[in-house]
Amino acid sequence: MLAVVLAAGTGSRMGLTAKATPKGLLKVAGREILYRTLHQLRECGVDSFIIVTNRRFAPAYRDFCRRNRFKCQVIENPHPEKGNGYSLYLAKPYITARFVVVMSDHVYEDAFVKRAVNGTGLIFDRLGVYIRKGEATKVKVEAGRVTAVGKNLPAYDGFDTGFFVLDREVLDVAEELLKTREKLELSELVETAGVPSTQLSGYFWMDVDTPEERKLAKHYLIKLSVKGTGDGWISRLINRKISTRISKYLVDYLTPNQITFLTFLFGIFSALVNFYSIPLAGVLYQISSILDGVDGEIARASTRTSKLGGYIDSVLDRYVDFIFLLVLACAIKPDFFFWIVISFAIFGSVMVSYSTERYKAAFFEDVYKVVPAMKYLLGKRDERIFLTMLMCLFNQVKALFVILAVLSNLRVILTLILVWKTKRAEIVL
């Protein structure tokens, strides 16, 4: 399948930066708007692209496609003032079947694109949760077909998401219309051709016209990048609220792998601080736990997720936890018997992770999805670290080790029991 990107607008409302860079190539949450959209489309099997732009921006778009290895054809529209319906018409010679049309300045979440490519005609959103409804383009639908598109419709059924799945015939209508008029907007074309419509509501999408909207889009992308599974209570209630703010700031400057590495160093540093001050070390450890969410958030928000990154991050986390507990143990100068408790605490802490990861390796599925009770079991990393901070602050390090030794190993035993019960039941079914 093929997609046409309409990118001939001059982006005048974007202010100074946009004079040099076309809107589609502005970065939102660490990635060009267009990169995100083309990447999402490619993941859904749409892998050929036609970008219709003006003369001034064509070289930048050509360079962008080459650099990122997108299969693109960049077409110049010598008369952008003739409207984006005319831009679309210029792509006609390349189109042989059903095709997708997207705007170069719209940002979508992955789930939206995944569903939208399977829709027909104009994709509209009844709710428009994330957009400023006053300024949005509205759509009126009758019997499944678009009857009116515009900013000031007296009555409407939803909002134009800037995403279309069209049949080739629409371009014949455009050709016909352009015989009698100079200018053609896509909205007029869609109205006249009476294209079908598909409702797709509640997902994140927005067009990025102003610097404020660019900020807002980044805000939502980071918020949506929080992966639920595996987060404990502390992550949900505290860590994620702070880490997303940090991510919003860092996403423009650092890659996920750089953050993974820095977070690792910070974690090891927090461990060593135990030699100097245990309460301070505890606080730094909790900060490192918050920072630990940032790499994943940035990776997802900037479409840079990698299994390799996740793998390295997990192994390094285990080392941070181990070194922290070991240095903390040394700092309290334990006797022979207490070293046994410490050993159980250190071992149990890794085993919490081991028992869930080994599950995934065996069953190729997430234990938190299959055994929902696991989500509410205490003892996940964020919870252990928060507890560690509290106990360090209140000078209860010995009690901490006892609790960790019991809690973590108990959690592993409960994991085994829950998995056994769930999987046995599956076999009997």
Is residue 335 within 8 Å of 349, Cβ to Cβ?
A: no
| The residue to which tokens 């399977």 are assigned | 118
Contact code string over 27-66 relative to a second copy, x by CB under 8 A: ----------------------------------------
412 near a second copy (CB under 8 A): yes
Contacts of range 174-178, beta carbons closer than 8 Å, 24 or more positions apart:
174/85, 174/86, 174/88, 174/89, 174/92, 175/89, 175/92, 177/85, 178/86, 178/89
CB of 376 to a second copy, least distance (A): 21
272 near a second copy (CB under 8 A): no
Is residue 251 within 8 Å of 299, Cβ to Cβ?
A: no
Q: Is the CB of 222 or the CB of 299 nearer to a second copy?
A: 299
Q: Is the CB of 134 or the CB of 337 nearer to a second copy?
A: 337
CB of 365 to a second copy, least distance (A): 10
Q: Is the CB of 261 or the CB of 269 nearer to a second copy?
A: 261
CB of 10 to a second copy, least distance (A): 36
CB of 333 to a second copy, least distance (A): 7
Q: Is the CB of 143 or the CB of 427 nearer to a second copy?
A: 427
CB of 240 to a second copy, least distance (A): 22
* Interactions with a second copy, residue window 305-364 (CB under 8 A): 306-308, 310-312, 314-315, 318-319, 322, 326, 329-330, 333-334, 336, 339-340, 342-343, 346-347, 350-351, 353-355, 357-364
How far, in Å, CA of 305 to CA of 194, rounded? 40
Contact code string over 362-401 relative to a second copy, x by CB under 8 A: xxx-------------------------------------
Instruction: Find, among 119, 281, 100, the residue nearest to 201 by Cα.
Output: 119
CB of 310 to a second copy, least distance (A): 6
CB of 83 to a second copy, least distance (A): 41
Residue ranges that bind a second copy, judged by CB under 8 A: 306-308, 310-312, 314-315, 318-319, 322, 326, 329-330, 333-334, 336, 339-340, 342-343, 346-347, 350-351, 353-355, 357-364, 412, 416, 419-420, 423-424, 427
